[in-house]
Amino acid sequence: MNLEYYIIHGRGDGGLKFQLAKLEDDNGNTYKGQYDMARQFASIDELNTHIADDVVKKPLAELTIGPMNI
């Protein structure tokens, strides 16, 4: 499964964290309401694990996750 994300940088103490603003898979599903947009992440690995475990509920190894090409 292919997923693309858009994040907002400059969050948290010192602006070092980011938030997930948008998530979309290759079928157009945006998972709206299935993740907390206010949650802050310290790394892309943390974000990818959250997406796999809590949002799409699939093993991370089965997913291809990357930034949106806007």
Residue 20: inside a domain: yes
pLDDT in tens, 32-53: 999 999 999 999 999 999 999 9
Residue 47: inside a domain: yes
Number of structural domains the chain divides into? 1
Is-contact 58 1, C-beta < 8 A? yes
Full 3-state SS string of the chain: CEEEEEEEEEECHHHCEEEEEEEEECCCCCCCCCCCCCCEECCHHHHHHHHHHHHCCCCHHHCEEEECCC
Maximum alpha-carbon separation in the chain = 36
In this model, does residue 31 exceed pLDDT 90?
Answer: yes
Domain that holds residue 36: 2-51
Q: pTM for this structure?
A: 0.91
Residue type, 2: N
Instruction: Report d(CA 1, CA 41) in Å as an integer.
Output: 22
